[in-house]
Structure 1
């Protein structure tokens, strides 16, 4: 049976991808800095940022799903001034380049890379790093696919939670369509095994929603009493910050339904 290696397999999206692969009967090896709790996958221990353990992890692998990334904003759940000036590239650029080179050495048959919608217009350093890594994939001799996704609900939840202490939330009015990792994982696994290659349909959430409405739904789901201050944002600035509406596949889980699952106790108390 073919063996699939998942990098980033312990992250939010990676866990969803691994779950679907195992559910569908695929052999799975997860590349991570430390082993997880699942006993129905193989664990390959190493670090994409340094390359430690990577060659060994690729032995016997037919397909790689590269869901690994390093976003300081996502890790801390908020933006700091430094994020407008630099973002680490050891995982997303150097790590991707190293991974692609080793994939070619061992004749991996398919390299599926998870990326982000709207990178060409985005100006944040993390987006530039992601675009550089994606371009390496597109130039690779290994058969590849690129799946771009919109921002994830869990990240928005984390960022909004860091605003919860403020009595007034300044929020742009721009539209976008964030998505849940479960829907992205479904799309990624479909693209991994449908026999097609190259640039695949990008995926976003089912609903085009303004950040103001999104923040309002979050506030209500948390049972908070906060004033939301709408801020006008030009299209160019919105795109520069990654706020776009995706074209392609739409997920099924709405932001409102995700919030109901995330905060059931708050909803029931209300």
Structure 2
């Protein structure tokens, strides 16, 4: 049976991709710094940032799904001034370059790279790093695909939860359509095995809303009462910050439904 390697397979999206692959009967190997506990996949220890373990991980691999990334904002759940000046590239650029090179040596048949919608006009350093990694894939001699996705609901939840201590929430009125990782995983896995290649349909959530509306839904779901201060942005500035509405495929799960499914009070009561 053909073997699929998933990088970033212990993250939110990567874990959902692995789940989808396993349910569909694929043989899966996960590349991670530390092996996980699940017994229904193979584990390969290593690090994209250094290249450690890559050759062993790619042995006998037919398809690579590269869902690995390193976003300081996502990891800490908030933005700091440094994020407007620089972002680490060891995973998303140098790591992608290493992965492509070793995949070529291993004669991988399909390299699918997960990227972000709206990178071409985005100006934040993390977006520029992601775009540089994506262009390495596009320039590769491998048989490749690129799937761009909108920001994920869990990240929006994390960012908004970090504002809960503030009495007033300044919120841009820019519209975008964040998406659930399970919807993205379904699309990514479909693209990995449908025989098509190149830049694939991007995926976003089913609703395009501004951050004011998204924040209000969040406050309602989390039983918070905070004043929301709308902030108007020019279209150019909004696009530079990544606030775009995706074209292509739309996920099914709405932000309101995601919030209900991921209510901390409900989970703790269960």
The residue aligned with 1:65 is 65
The residue aligned with 1:117 is 117
Superposition pairs of residues 28-177 of structure 1, within 5 angstroms: 28-177=28-177
Alpha-carbon distance in structure 2 between the residues aligned to 1:262 and 1:66: 26
**Structure 1 residue 266, shift from structure 2 partner:** 6.8
Q: What is the number of residues matched between the two proteins?
A: 268
Alpha-carbon distance in structure 2 between the residues aligned to 1:99 and 1:74: 23
**Structure 1 residue 262, shift from structure 2 partner:** 1.0
Alpha-carbon distance in structure 2 between the residues aligned to 1:238 and 1:122: 9
- Structure-2 change in CA distance of 1:48 and 1:264 (3 Å): closer
Alpha-carbon distance in structure 2 between the residues aligned to 1:265 and 1:107: 49
Alpha-carbon distance in structure 2 between the residues aligned to 1:238 and 1:55: 41
SS at structure 2 position matched to 1:111: strand
Alpha-carbon distance in structure 2 between the residues aligned to 1:35 and 1:221: 35
The residue aligned with 2:6 is 6
**Structure 1 residue 57, shift from structure 2 partner:** 0.3
The residue aligned with 1:243 is 243
SS at structure 2 position matched to 1:13: helix
Q: Give deviations 1:13-51, integer Å, cap 9, x for gaps.
A: 000000000000000000000011110000000000000
SS at structure 1 position matched to 2:207: coil
Q: Give deviations 1:92-142, integer Å, cap 9, x for gaps.
A: 000000000011111000000000000010000000000000000000001
Instruction: Give unmatched runs, 5+ long, in structure 1.
Output: none
The residue aligned with 2:19 is 19
CA RMSD of aligned residues (A): 1.2
TM-score, scaled to structure 1: 0.98
Structure 1 segments of 4+ aligned residues over 6 angstroms from their partners:
none
**Structure 1 residue 242, shift from structure 2 partner:** 0.4
Alpha-carbon distance in structure 2 between the residues aligned to 1:109 and 1:45: 22
Instruction: Give unmatched runs, 5+ long, in structure 2.
Output: none
Alpha-carbon distance in structure 1 between the residues aligned to 2:47 and 2:243: 31
